[in-house]
Amino acid sequence: MKKTIKNNKQKEHKILNKLNKVAENPGKFILDVFKKLGKSFSENIVFVMFVFLNVLNAFVLRMLTMNNPSNFFAFQPLLADFAFVLIIGSFGFLFKKLGRTIYYFIVTIILTAICVINSSYYTFYTSFTSISLISTLKFIGQVGDAVVENVMKPKDFVYILAPIIMLAICIKKLKSNVMTRSDYKDKPRALKTLAVGVACAVVFVATLTSTDIGRFVKQWNREYIVMKYGIYVYHVNDLIKSVEPKITSLFGYDEAMKTFKEYFGEETEQKTNKYTGIYEGKNIIAIHAESIQSFVIGLQFNGVEVTPNLNKLVNSGLYFDNFYSQVSVGTSSDSEFTFSTSLMPSNTGTAFGSYYDRTYITTQKLLKEKGYYTFSMHGNNADYWNRRIMYESIGYDEFYAKDDYDIDEVIGLGISDKSFFRQSVDKIKKINEENEKFYGTIIMLTNHTPFSDTEKYGEFDVSLHETVYNEITGTYEEVIYPYLEGTKLGNYLKSVHYADAAIGEFITALDEAGILEDTVVVVYGDHDARLPKADYQKMYNYDKNTDGILPDDTLGYIKFDSYQYELNRKVPFIIWTKDGKYQGVNSNVMGMYDVQPTLGNMFGFSNPYSLGNDIFNIGEENIVVFPTGNWVTNKVYYNSQKNAFLTLKDTVITDEYIVQCNDYSDKLLNASNAVIVYDLIKKSSEEQANESQVIEDSTK
């Protein structure tokens, strides 16, 4: 006891001496502190720069992708990135000088690659990539030009400065012959660093709301997760979600089945309307119109229509001008999936790539039950997006792909649409002769980004022609302004004009072959073209005096912000027959998942597990949910990342309405993902069969 008191007095004496020295010479004390910090920094410079550079890269990624100033210095993602890098960096102290230096350099390369890939991916998809997409890398050669020209930008190489700086620091460190204590294995320091990282992680988790955690678990909205959790934590979660298909039998099945039964449990009354059964027994040709957006319908340049042939179909058929694609990272394959199943895309990877072995109730299968022969035609590789295998699950009898065509004319990624359509007509004629009824999907290819083969698209002028009076000569002269020439949007419009001409030739050839007499043509845009917002600004607010964009305070200036950009992504949906018996425009919001029930009403089939609605029954009450958790109705467009909305009609939007629609969106997305991940259509059918067998056995 006496010894303890004595030790305490000695400690107090030392502290008092130090305080007295500080009081006598505070400048020297501060200098000593900085010397110690400098020594600690110099001895651990590789670790310090490792943390700084990788946290900085994550910050720059958010700054260059999610163009929202409020995100730049958000505390939560900075803390999450810092905690992650500290935890990963702590393991470096378990190595000696050489091993530790190499460890930090290799990890920096990996984290830099994550930033570069996500930066370029975001440019095209306005989202962040997924580890589950690694399986699609084998197809990158087929779209190499699109990647280089359309995706990779100078900004994507900024992140490479981090490993370059790290390399220079590492080389300097390794060349140094001076060995300090910090150059040896240091388990205590590793544990201390790990503890600090974990503590930061705990503080970060404490700042999260239940909404933040819920969205993290579901991972529908990748942009929201990166905004809240940072890019590194997002990818840790993404890695876990990406292996989910392999472990679904181990976790979550009971909860998923409960969600499934609650959502689809109640039988809905099959309503009829004036379109019920109108096309029953007729053939169907569905044209999958690559990257064609609705804004081109009716658009003219210098008196010339961009899409004269689609305009004719619109004016003589049923046209849905408020129709949205609902794709995720699977783009075209997601569009095909939702079109055929009335389910949403998977929230991890793609249904075509990760969930091809599930049981789905598809339009193709339902029509086959009614005696239809089903096929798909595409001028690309049969294995792209895993189509060859997935098509068996969808229910196609035959898939005509690249090897079935003579590649006599190439535009963009492969065979030109005109050649593809011309050769497809010959195949369809044979199918028509050999089968009583058929359903066919015809997938276009030419109008695929990067829209760079402008010399092959044919003549279409996207400059601005204006007739002005010349006071000097006293005559009227034509002045030509560049307008959209040389822009990506301008090149896209030229490509669309070509694609439209190809569709026109296809319709004419089908008519000449006598196929249109008993066939319904369905045209749908698979997704938007991811065109730059600045190009739209130029189209709507062109300043011919500067060949730029008008100031936003100019009279007649058209506002085109992120909300308008999202709403402008809508694509055309047309149902057309040669006789033109059914015509008109339906302007109610409609999504890709509404196609199956709408066509089902017309052709006499139905899917009890469809997420969508027959648009002619639901009308103004419809809601289109996007894979991100965003949604749109006739009244409002809601952005789940911003938790904000844009009113689309002159009406009051209540909090109750937003909550109700958000609840609907969450339940729909959860039910869809449960169906896909846990193969619940098959499992539910098996359960029903077992129950029926038990009942049958009990009555014997």
Give which of 84, 128, 118 is closest to 220, Cα–Cα: 128
Angle among Cα 429, 435, 440 to the nearest 5 degrees reads: 65
Q: Looking at residue 469, what is its pLDDT? A: 81
For the cut 50, the answer to whether the pLDDT of residue 561 exceeds it is yes
Least confident of 175-179, 239-243, 451-455: 175-179
Least confident of 171-175, 308-312, 397-401: 171-175
Q: What percent of the chain has pLDDT over 90?
A: 63
* Long-range interactions of 90-93: CB distance < 8 A, separation 24+: 90/190, 90/191, 90/193, 90/194, 90/197, 91/190, 91/194, 92/47, 92/50, 92/190, 93/47, 93/185, 93/186, 93/187, 93/189, 93/190, 93/193
Q: Looking at residue 148, what is its pLDDT? A: 47
Q: Three-state SS for 612?
A: coil
- Using one digit for the tens of pLDDT, what is the confidence trace for 376-394? 999 998 888 889 999 999 9
d(CA 373, CA 371): 7
- Could you tell me which residues come within 8 angstroms of residue 190 by beta carbon, excluding any fewer than 6 positions away? 90, 91, 92, 93, 94
Q: Looking at residue 202, what is its pLDDT? A: 92
Asked if residue 526 lies in contact with residue 335, where contact means CB atoms within 8 angstroms, the answer is yes
What are the residue ranges of helices labelled H in 127-221? 144-146, 161-175, 187-206, 210-218
Confidence of residue 19 (pLDDT cuts 50, 70, 90): low
More confident residue, 138 or 353: 353
Please compute the mean of the pLDDT values over residues 417-432 and round it to a whole number: 98
- Using one digit for the tens of pLDDT, what is the confidence trace for 463-487? 999 988 887 888 888 899 999 999 9
Q: What percent of the chain has pLDDT over 70?
A: 85
* Dihedral sign for Cα atoms in the order 113, 114, 117, 119: negative
d(CA 434, CA 283): 13
d(CA 36, CA 42): 10
- Using one digit for the tens of pLDDT, what is the confidence trace for 256-303? 899 999 999 877 778 899 999 999 999 999 999 999 999 999 999 999
Give which of 635, 488, 471 is closest to 146, Cα–Cα: 488
d(CA 423, CA 402): 11
Residue 221 phi, psi dihedral angles, 5° rounding:
-105, 95
- Using one digit for the tens of pLDDT, what is the confidence trace for 125-167? 667 887 766 655 555 444 444 444 445 567 778 999 999 999 9
Query: In one letter, which amino acid is 385?
Result: W
Asked if residue 312 lies in contact with residue 575, where contact means CB atoms within 8 angstroms, the answer is no
Q: Looking at residue 34, what is its pLDDT? A: 41
For the cut 50, the answer to whether the pLDDT of residue 357 exceeds it is yes
Q: Looking at residue 209, what is its pLDDT? A: 86
Can you give the pTM of this predicted structure?
A: 0.82
- Using one digit for the tens of pLDDT, what is the confidence trace for 184-242? 677 888 898 899 999 999 999 999 888 788 778 777 678 888 888 999 999 998 887 77
Confidence of residue 503 (pLDDT cuts 50, 70, 90): very high
Give which of 442, 593, 446 is closest to 519, Cα–Cα: 442
For the cut 90, the answer to whether the pLDDT of residue 26 exceeds it is no
Q: Looking at residue 188, what is its pLDDT? A: 85
For the cut 60, the answer to whether the pLDDT of residue 180 exceeds it is no
Please compute the mean of the pLDDT values over residues 588-615 and round it to a whole number: 97
- Where does residue 172 fall: left (phi above 0), alpha (psi -120 to 50 degrees), or beta otherwise? alpha
| Residue spans per domain, the chain | 1-34, 44-242, 273-451+489-618
Strand boundaries in 35-143, DSSP class E: none
For the cut 60, the answer to whether the pLDDT of residue 1 exceeds it is no
d(CA 167, CA 109): 10
Q: Looking at residue 276, what is its pLDDT? A: 97
Residues 273-451+489-618: name the CATH superfamily: Alkaline Phosphatase, subunit A (3.40.720.10)
